Structure 1
Amino acid sequence: MAVQNWIDNLKSSTKTALIHDARRKIHYLFADGKEMAEEYDLRTDELIVRKWRHKNTLGAQGQWEVEVGEPLVCPVTSTEAEMLKESCSNPVFMRKDTKSSFQWRIRNLPYSKDVFNVSVQPPERLIVIKTSNKKYYKKFGIPDLDRMQLPLDNSALNFTHANNTLIVSYKKPKDILSFEQELMKELKKLKGTSEGDIDCKTQ
């Protein structure tokens, strides 16, 4: 039932399309006030950015939270910049999907591949990354699978390591691939403009 709810929510949301910088930008406004913004490569249809914004308890708009794409960088004062000097060497976690896989990249991990253990924890619906040298530990979910209530499968998971970057890939199940194809067909029907926003509510 939740699967159909998610699809129905997408269909009933107010969608705004914009073509800019060789990207198809879609803004979704849901009935509960939540907002989702996506950006797709116009040439390949690959998802580049997905971010969410929720209203807080007082009804004001909160900050955008990135689900896919480069993490948002908040401006820092000169005092903060001095305090955060060492942070440039900290691991940077981001999701960057391909057409066939969900993919995460963690930069600034200068260890050999055999140090890493990457596995699925089905009961918790999480992927876990840990290192034998106890230098890095991360747990994260796949919201796309959660929204469609699809199980996690350890056999869909693999990882590589190069240039101090750990790349974790999870092969998209058929249900996700079909859903994404159908969604893209619908998004291409929206009359996007390169000059401004157009509200395109689809039924």
Structure 2
Amino acid sequence: MAVQSWIDILKSSKKTALINDGKRKIHYLFTDGKEMAEEYDLKTDELIVRKWRHKSTLGAEGLWEIEVGEPLAGPVTSQEVIKENCSNPVFMRKDSKTSFQWRVRNLPYPKDVFTVSAEPSERCIIVKTSNKKYYKKFSITDLDRYQLPLDSTAVSFTHANNTLIVSYTKPKEILTLETELLKELKKLKGTGEGDVDCKTQ
């Protein structure tokens, strides 16, 4: 079953864990050389960051690609921040415990301009505006990994403070697997809260 195969891949990967800054940081190294890094909030267990790195064809380290979390996670110069924060929409994923969630900042239009729809046949969500100012098509990588169907009734959206928030209620299969995975991650050496007296100087 496909759902099981992804969880098996996660379990068989080489994992290292670190606690600092109030976060549980997990690094996965897969047998095919891909790397995944995740950060969880220690208090809420919410996933804050998930990023991937692939080796290039020549074996060099690639750049980290953010799947969940702030797009500006790397070291940036002040000029880049100014450039990035102009009026262009900024698309990012930020999940909650029960939903996959995407935020699009810098969209100063009223809510009734937006249409958000799920296209199960294309396995994607489409966001568009009636004033033709914004269009975005994206897939839910977690559903693809677990090979679960896209449910159009699971999609909702709100708009406030120039930010569109698109939510997709997590299917029960994923909630169960996330709980199971978190139990595994908490067993990793170095993740016991008691071991964290050695503060970095």
**Normalising by structure 2, what TM-score?**
0.90
Residue 111 (structure 1) aligned with residue 109 (structure 2):
yes
Distance in 2 of aligned mates of 1:53 and 1:86:
23
For residues 62-116 of structure 1, the C-alpha deviation after alignment (integer angstroms, 9 at most, x for no partner) is 00000000003563596xx5xx748611000010100000001100000000000
| CA distance in structure 1 between the partners assigned to 2:116 and 2:75 by the alignment | 30
Alignment match of 1:165 (pick from 163, 169, 190): 163
Report the counterpart of residue 200 of structure 1 in structure 2: none
Query: Superposition RMSD on alpha carbons, in Å?
Result: 2.0
Give, in angstroms, the shift of residue 7 of structure 1: 1.4
Moved more, 103-112 or 85-94: 85-94
Matches of 1:89 and 1:48, distance apart in 2:
25
| 1:2 alignment counterpart | 2
In the alignment, structure 1 residue 152 sits paired with structure 2 residue 150:
yes
Structure 1: stretches of 5+ with no match in the other structure: 197-203
Assess, with a 3 A threshold, how the Cα gap between structure 1 residues 21 and 114 changes in structure 2: closer, same or farther. Answer: same
SS state at 1:145 partner? helix
Find the residue that maps to 1:147 and give its secondary structure.
Answer: helix
Aligned residues with identical type, % of pairs? 75
SS state of the match for residue 123, structure 1? coil
- In 1, the alpha carbon distance for the partners of 2:147 and 2:189 equals 31
Deviations 1:100-136 (A, max 9, x none): 0000110000000000000001111100000000000
User: Residue in 2 aligned with 1:39?
Assistant: 39
Please give the residue correspondences for 1:1-203 in structure 2 after superposition, counting only pairs within 5 Å.
1-72=1-72, 73=74, 75=76, 85=83, 88-192=86-190, 194=196
Most deviating of 186-195 and 17-26 = 186-195
Distance 1:64 1:39 in 2: 14
Helix, strand or coil at the partner of 2:91:
strand
CA distance in 2, matches of 1:87, 1:37: 26
Aligned equivalents of 1:99 and 1:7: distance in 2? Answer: 18
- State how far apart, in whole Å, the 1-side matches of 2:53 and 2:85 are: 26
What SS does the corresponding residue of 2:6 show, helix, strand or coil? helix
Task: Specify whether residues 85 and 179 from structure 1 end up closer, same or farther in structure 2 by C-alpha distance, changes over 3 A only.
Answer: closer
Shift of 1:5: 2.2
- Supply the AA of the counterpart residue of 2:105: R
Q: Give the total of aligned pairs.
A: 193
| TM-score, length-scaled by structure 1 | 0.89
Unmatched tracts of structure 2, length 5 or more: none
